[in-house]
Structure 1
Amino acid sequence: MDVLVPLLQLLVLLLTLPLHLLALLGCWQPLCKTYFPYLMAVLPRKSNHKMESKKRELFSQIKGLMGASGKVALLELGCGTGANFQFYPAGCRVTCLDPNPHFEKFLTKSMAENRHLQYEQFVVAPGEDMRQLADGSMDVVVCTLVLCSVQSPRNVLQEVQRVLRPGGVLFFWEHVAEPQGSWALMWQQIVEPTWKHIADGCCLTRETWKDLEKAGFSEVQMERQPSLFKWLPVGPHIMGKAVK
């Protein structure tokens, strides 16, 4: 199997050679940044339909973090089009952060459709460098299908720890690698170099649960769920929360 993976990776690379050449020449990334928000305006609707009850259960816990003011400062990391807004309880003051400025018009539309939320700002920055946000300024950080595509999950989680207040909570939902030694993992390894270009840096084989467990949170709760889309190489998911 170890020999087979690089050979099949090469075959996929040859079949998708124009894409890799565009990426090598620096032409693909700007194009991807432009079209990817439109793709993300469609796919989350399908995943929300499949995961609606689970997401409502997860994000309903935000209410317990609201103090006497009935407000909570929430940062959505890698906010995309705002597909999670509908699940947040009233009283959330939402700050959005994403490295792709092309998402802003989709966020504006999502906020207009979710008047129960208070929209604070849209910060264009990577999760590894959230210097525009003050230490301990957030009660909640939400991270869904983001840690697969960042440069360094470890650095992102360090930044999450920094911006969370003591006792603040990270809510996460991420896809992860298939089990070691499985044919499904081998398939992920084969298509990953090409998939990363198509899906704006998304890595298929990350063992994100390990990063969460090592990030220094006082408590981590997670559950594992099967893949939502059998026709995609995206693997199983982990969902849960981590308390600072």
Structure 2
Amino acid sequence: MDALVRLLQLLLLFLTLPLHLMALLGCWQPLCKSYFPYLMAALTASTNRRMESKKRELFSHIKGLMGTSGRVALLELGSGTGANFQFYPPGCRITCLDPNPHFEKFLSKSMAKNRHLQYERFVVAPGEDMKQLADGSMDVVVCTLVLCSVQSPKRVLQEVRRVLRPGGVLLFWEHVAERRGSWAFTWQRAVEPTWKHIGDGCCLTRETWKDLENAQFSEVQMERQPPPFKWLPVGPHIMGKAVK
């Protein structure tokens, strides 16, 4: 199986050779950072339509954290274009964090469309180093399709626990690896080196559920879902919450 993976990787490398050469020369990443927000913006509407019921189910947990104040401090980790804003209830005070500054203008458009929310600030930083955010300052952290592309999911989850108040909740929706030994997993392994360049660091074979289970949350609830797009090598998804 490993020999087949290497053969497929070489074939894809040959077919996408200009992309890999640009990455090797350091030309691709700046270009990717610029175009990636446009790609995400184009996919937002179709993804939200397909996942609307699941997103509403996931974010329904936010209301239970508001208490008597009717307000909640929410950190959107890897906020991207603000695709989740429409599903948040009124009373959310949103802090957006993303390492790509090119997303800011797309966030501004989403904010203008969702006036029921209060926007605090946009922080340009990786999830592994959220030093601009104070300990215990957030009631909720939202992380959707983010842990696939960070450098260290373990470090990101440590930072999430740090910024959450006691009893605070991480709400997550992430794609993960297919079952080891399956043909789908073999294909993910073959495509991954090329996919990382196309998807701004997106890894297809991460077993993110293990990182969540080992992150020392007091409680983790998750469900597994089939891939929403059958024509992509992106695998099944996990959705749920983790309580500090």
| Structure 1 residue 84, shift from structure 2 partner | 0.1
Alignment of 1:94-109 (within 5 A): 94-109=94-109
| Structure 1 residue 117, shift from structure 2 partner | 0.2
Deviations, residues 28-72 of structure 1 (Å, cap 9, x unaligned):
000000000000001122111111011101101100000221100
What is the number of residues matched between the two proteins?
A: 244
Q: Are 1:224 and 2:229 an aligned pair?
A: no
Aligned Cα root-mean-square deviation (Å): 0.5
Q: Are 1:34 and 2:31 an aligned pair?
A: no
Deviations, residues 59-96 of structure 1 (Å, cap 9, x unaligned):
01100000221100000000000000000000000000
Secondary structure of the equivalent of 2:120? strand
Secondary structure of the equivalent of 1:230? coil
Secondary structure of the equivalent of 1:80? coil
Query: What is the distance in 2 between the residues matched to 1:181 and 1:6?
Result: 15
Runs of 4+ in structure 1 off by over 3 angstroms are none
Q: Are 1:115 and 2:115 an aligned pair?
A: yes
Letter of the structure 1 residue corresponding to residue 93 of structure 2: R
Paired residue for 2:66? Answer: 66
Query: Please, which runs of 5 or more residues in structure 1 have no aligned partner?
Result: none
Secondary structure of the equivalent of 1:119? strand
Secondary structure of the equivalent of 1:63? helix
Secondary structure of the equivalent of 2:133? coil
Deviations, residues 123-144 of structure 1 (Å, cap 9, x unaligned):
0000000000000000000000
Q: TM-score, normalised by structure 2?
A: 0.99
Q: TM-score, normalised by structure 1?
A: 0.99
| Structure 1 residue 104, shift from structure 2 partner | 0.3
Paired residue for 1:208? Answer: 208
Paired residue for 1:49? Answer: 49
Paired residue for 1:172? Answer: 172
Deviations, residues 106-158 of structure 1 (Å, cap 9, x unaligned):
00010010000000000000000000000000000000000000000000000
Query: What is the distance in 2 between the residues matched to 1:42 and 1:195?
Result: 18
Paired residue for 2:139? Answer: 139
Identity over aligned residues, as a percent?
84
Query: What is the distance in 2 between the residues matched to 1:243 and 1:47?
Result: 27
